[in-house]
């Protein structure tokens, strides 16, 4: 597994910027729910340009402002999660790849200089991989819940694990950076994660992330902490802790696209002022080292 030097550089630059006097502390990673429809995607990404174009035209200037890049989140790393269905008050309802315009949306974020982790369950990945372009700032990330049998049972679909592996292979052969995101659930055992990692050895992964659920018990969190030691790469183990913090922090959570256009939610970096919800992982660093 490769050490993510470019990702580490992005985080290092962010930490240096955060060290400036008067800078508000925040996480370098923001979770975003992909909009469900093409219309919602267009509104989220170009809606800010219209007022600027109108103002420029009124002053007799050029209307080229309408063609400027859309306003993007200030966080350097964006994690795209399940589709935000407007009918369900923005709750995650389905996989990111069910969004018709997710390819265009991902390109816009990446072209704005952001590192993007596109999380998917992998069932549609092989079919839709052609809609994306390989890039050093794009990580195609497949979410797994355990070994094939456990994953299929959790997904309520026979062959779901096999489809995810086929999608990863297709992405790798197409030149993409590929990751897996292993989610520790209440009944997940450390030995099962070890078996899963052994099965993934032949996938030539670029990265691996292991986290517990947002409402995980102390036992789940301890299992996740121990499992990160099995990754075998300190860079990805540290990044897993960062992703865990973005999941745990109730105010950051998974923002909608509209919310992501604001600054990232503030979060104290000092371990002494961390919330009670994170006390069970106090043995791990708050930021990527």
Q: What is the DSSP letter of 266?
A: B
What is the band of 33 on the pLDDT scale with cuts at 50, 70, 90? confident
pLDDT of residue 145: 96
Q: Say how many C-beta atoms besides its own lie within 10 A of residue 2's C-beta.
A: 12
**pLDDT one-digit tens code per residue, 141-196:** 999 999 999 999 999 999 999 999 999 999 999 999 999 999 999 999 999 999 99
What gap in Å lies between CA 81 and CA 178, rounded to an integer?
16
**Would you state the pLDDT for residue 263?**
31
Q: Give phi and psi for 89, each to the nearest 5.
A: 60, 35
User: By C-alpha distance, which of 132, 123, 122, 127 is closest to 102?
Assistant: 132
Choice between 279 and 255, residue whose per-residue pLDDT is larger: 255
* pLDDT at site 238: 94
Residue 273 neighbours by CB distance under 10 Å: 9
Beta bridge partners of 84: 35, 92
Whole-number pLDDT of residue 24: 81
The most confident of the ranges 9-18, 34-43, 72-81, 188-197 is 188-197
- Alpha carbon distance 28, 253 (integer Å): 13
- pLDDT(10) > 60: yes
- The pLDDT score that the predictor gives to residue 74 is 77
Alpha-carbon distance of 149 to 137, in angstroms, equals: 32
Quick: pLDDT tens for 204-259.
999 999 999 888 899 999 999 999 999 999 999 999 999 999 998 754 444 444 44
Distance of CA 177 to the CA centre of its chain: 14
The answer to whether 181 and 136 have CB atoms below 8 angstroms apart is no
Query: Mapping DSSP to helix (H, G, I), strand (E, B) and coil, where does residue 16 land?
Result: helix
| Residue 89 CB contacts under 8 Å (≥ 6 apart), including other chains | none
Helices within 70-211 (DSSP H only):
102-111, 125-128, 148-155, 160-173, 190-200
Q: Taking residues 112-119, what's their average pLDDT?
A: 95
Position with higher pLDDT, 95 vs 42: 95
Q: Identify the helix (H) or strand (E) that includes residue 86.
A: none
User: What is the share, in percent, of the chain residues with pLDDT greater than 70?
Assistant: 69
Question: Where are the chain's structural domains?
Answer: 5-13+26-37+77-281
The Cα 268–Cα 242 span in angstroms is: 13
Kindly indicate the confidence band of residue 97, based on its pLDDT and cuts at 50, 70 and 90: very high
Q: What is the pLDDT of residue 54?
A: 42
Structure tokens at 187: 């009944």
Q: Which of 187, 109, 125 is nearest to 153 (CA)?
A: 187
Distance CA(184)–CA(216), nearest Å, equals 8
The pLDDT mean for the chain works out to: 77
Length of the chain: 289
Name the helix (H) or strand (E) containing 255.
strand 254-255
| Token pair for 236 | 């990805």
Of residues 34, 98, 102, 55, the one with CA closest to residue 258: 34
> Between 3.20.20.140, 3.50.50.100, 3.80.30.10, 3.90.470.10, what CATH number should domain 5-13+26-37+77-281 receive?
3.80.30.10
Q: CA–CA separation, 189 vs 53, rounded Å?
A: 56
Answer whether 220's CB lies under 8 Å from 244's CB: no
Cβ–Cβ under 8 Å, residues 266 and 250: no
């Amino acid at each position: 597994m490769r050490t993510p030097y470019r990702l580490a550089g992005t985080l290092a630059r962010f930490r240096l910027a955060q060290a400036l006097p008067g800078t508000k502390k925040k996480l370098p990673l923001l979770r975003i729910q992909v909009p469900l429809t093409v219309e919602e995607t267009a509104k989220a990404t170009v809606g800010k340009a219209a007022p600027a174009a109108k103002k420029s035209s009124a002053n007799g200037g050029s209307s080229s402002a309408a063609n400027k890049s859309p306003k993007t989140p200030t966080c350097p790393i964006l994690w795209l999660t399940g589709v935000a269905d407007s009918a369900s008050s923005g709750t995650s309802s389905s996989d990111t790849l069910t969004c018709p315009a997710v390819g265009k949306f991902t390109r816009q974020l990446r072209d704005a200089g952001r590192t993007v982790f596109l999380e998917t369950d992998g069932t549609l990945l092989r079919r839709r991989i052609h809609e994306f372009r390989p890039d050093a700032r794009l990580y195609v990330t497949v979410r797994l819940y355990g070994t094939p049998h456990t994953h299929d049972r959790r997904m309520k679909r026979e062959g779901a694990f096999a489809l995810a592996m086929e999608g990863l292979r297709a992405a790798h052969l197409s030149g993409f950076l590929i990751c897996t995101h292993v989610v520790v659930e209440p009944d997940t055992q450390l030995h099962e994660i070890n078996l899963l990692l052994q099965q993934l050895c032949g996938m030539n992964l670029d990265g691996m992330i292991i986290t517990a659920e947002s409402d995980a018990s102390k036992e789940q969190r301890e299992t996740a902490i121990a499992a990160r030691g099995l990754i075998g790469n300190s860079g990805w183990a540290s990044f897993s802790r960062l992703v865990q913090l973005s999941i745990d922090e109730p105010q950051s959570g998974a923002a909608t696209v509209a919310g992501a256009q604001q600054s990232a939610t503030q979060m104290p970096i000092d371990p002494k002022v961390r919330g009670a919800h994170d006390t069970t992982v106090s043995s791990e660093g708050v930021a990527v080292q």
